Amino acid sequence: MGLVRIAVLVSGGGSNLQSLIDKIHGTYGEIVLVASNRKNAYGLERAKKAGIAAQVVSGEDYDEKLEALLREKEVDLVVLAGYLKKISPELVGRYKNKIINIHPSLIPSFSGEGCYGLKVHEMAVEYGVKISGATVHFVDENMDTGAIIAQRAVEVDWNDTPESLQAKVLKIEHEILAEAVKNYCLEKITVNGRIVAVKE
Ligand code: GAR
């Protein structure tokens, strides 16, 4: 059997994509496509530098275009790595337990509609939580509600700013996303309703 064929969807800088390029690409899986809803997303440049096909997907028939690309590239796993557009319920249904997302908080805290990027860390700092972290989860029809694959915490210090917390959390995002994708590629992940088991 060949390597697991991965598509990574990005809307921004793509540091999580870079972590997957460095830790997964060519060993546990093959990133066959990087797609973005934003033509200026730096993630597209990262893909090109690594020799990976990079595509902007936009316009009215957006969902159809994205699905056509995934089919054309025979994608097994879709990774949302800082992808800020909602995936259609149809696509979610057709790729059940094959789409994963990284979110920069300990879900269910600071998650759901409107919670993305720096805003998540602003909310965490404002609330005064003493720990925050990152979550990797399967994508379902709603926002940030799918079964959780992995979480890791960081301490929030009294003098953390949204920016400093973001930097701490990004570091662990890069670890847990790559670990989750690796485990997926090695077929170590099983899903039973909301409960995800990862075999050692
Ligand atoms: C990451 O912190 C990711 O968790 C977050 O966007 C950032 C993208 O950074 N995603 C969300 O907030 C999704 N709700 P990156 O482009 O450098 O990987």
pLDDT at 200: 83
Amino acid at 80: L
For 133-167, the pLDDT digits (tens) are 999 999 999 999 999 999 999 999 999 999 999 99
pLDDT at 109 over 80: yes
Note if 103 is an active site residue: yes
Interval 59-87 mean pLDDT: 96
- Domain spans of the chain, in order of start: 4-198
Ligand 1, atom 17, lies closest to the CA of 15
Euclidean distance between CA atoms 31 and 4, whole angstroms: 8
Interval 44-62 mean pLDDT: 96
Euclidean distance between CA atoms 100 and 199, whole angstroms: 18
Find out if CATH 3.40.50.170 is the number for domain 4-198. Answer: yes
C-alpha 106: how far from chain center = 14
C-alpha 138: how far from chain center = 9
DSSP state of 76: S
pLDDT at 1 over 80: no
Question: Which H or E run contains 60?
Answer: none
Q: Report the range of poorest mean pLDDT among 41-50, 59-68, 132-141.
A: 59-68
- Distance (angstroms) between ligand 1 centre and the Cα of 171 equals 11
- Distance (angstroms) between ligand 1 centre and the Cα of 53 equals 21
Is-contact 77 70, C-beta < 8 A?
no
Task: Supply the pTM of this predicted model.
Answer: 0.98
Structure tokens at 47: 């893909």
Mean pLDDT (the chain) is 97
Interval 2-16 mean pLDDT: 97
99-103 vs 29-36, strand pairing mode: unpaired
- Distance (angstroms) between ligand 1 centre and the Cα of 1 equals 32
Euclidean distance between CA atoms 42 and 63, whole angstroms: 22
pLDDT at 3: 96
Radius of gyration for the alpha carbons in the chain, expressed in angstroms and rounded: 16
In ligand 1, the atom with minimum distance to the C-alpha of 116 is 12
Residue matched to tokens 């997302």: 101
Interval 119-132 mean pLDDT: 98
Q: Is the CB–ligand 1 distance for residue 162 below 6 Å? A: no
Smallest CA-to-CA distance from 169 within 107, 121, 101, 114 is with 121
Structure tokens at 97: 């337990």
User: 3-class secondary structure for 82-119?
Assistant: CCCCCCCHHHHHHCCCCEEEEECCCCCCCCCCCCCCHH
Ligand 1, atom 1, lies closest to the CA of 82
